[in-house]
Copies of this chain bind each other. A is one copy, B any other.
Amino acid sequence: MKTVAIIVFDKFTDIDVFLPWDLFNRVKLKEQKWQVKLLGTEATHTSITGVDLKMHGHIGEASKADIVFFSSGPGTRQLYQNPRYLNRFHLDPERQVICSMCSGALILAGLGLLDGKSATTYPTAFDTLEAMGVTVERNSHLVTHGNIATAAGCLAAIDLVAWCLEKTVGNEVKESVIASVQAIGQGQVCIY
């Protein structure tokens, strides 16, 4: 069984959780041994627009996941310098694919996962990420180094999820999942 852990917190940006959530769940149509979990610190987290979202488990479980996907939103600003929050993660880029959307990169940096690497993030977080010693690629929507990737701008989630799937389930499943959400006449292929 392969597991995707999507890391959620209060004041998350809706698209940055729900777009990857839907895309990752589509893998189940192609791979039976696949699960996607929303992990947080509370039983429910609330988005910036007020949507209450039930979690499937605690962030501590992320250490066992094959893919750890940090979502984003204003909530990251309360977390990336919080040692009590950061200490609950025991991630390992040698055996896990680890990535972030938008300002989720601040948490990756807080965890030391971007040390000596370049990254992208949401424009309002460029300076903060740079002050943490990370080289910010200000015109890139996706920056990858081995098993670590950062993406920015909500729709970059599509390329970020594609990158995760290429690494874990291969090109064919990746292509099917991404084609399944394209607009009709623009590469759309039904998978259910």
Contacting residue for A185 out of B18, B139, B154, B188, CB 8 A: B139
- Scan A154-170; emit 1 where CB is below 8 A from any B CB, else 0: 11101100000000000
Contacting residue for A184 out of B13, B141, B158, CB 8 A: B141
In angstroms, Cα B184 to Cα A140, docked, is: 6
Residues B122 and A185 in contact, CB atoms below 8 Å apart? no
Name the B residues within 8 Å of A123 (CB-CB).
184, 188, 190
Query: In the complex, how many angstroms separate the beta carbon of A151 from the nearest chain B beta carbon?
Result: 8
Instruction: Verify if A120 is at the interface (C-beta below 8 Å from B).
Output: yes
- Asked whether A186 and B124 contact (CB < 8 A) given A18-B14, A22-B14, the answer is no
Contacting residue for A15 out of B19, B122, B192, CB 8 A: B19
- Scan A1-31; emit 1 where CB is below 8 A from any B CB, else 0: 0000000000001110011011101000000
Q: Which of A50-58, A64-72, A83-91, A106-114 contacts its partner? A: A50-58
Chain B CB within 10 Å, residue with most, of A18, A156, A183: A183
Instruction: Verify if A181 is at the interface (C-beta below 8 Å from B).
Output: yes
Instruction: Verify if A62 is at the interface (C-beta below 8 Å from B).
Output: no
Instruction: Verify if A134 is at the interface (C-beta below 8 Å from B).
Output: no
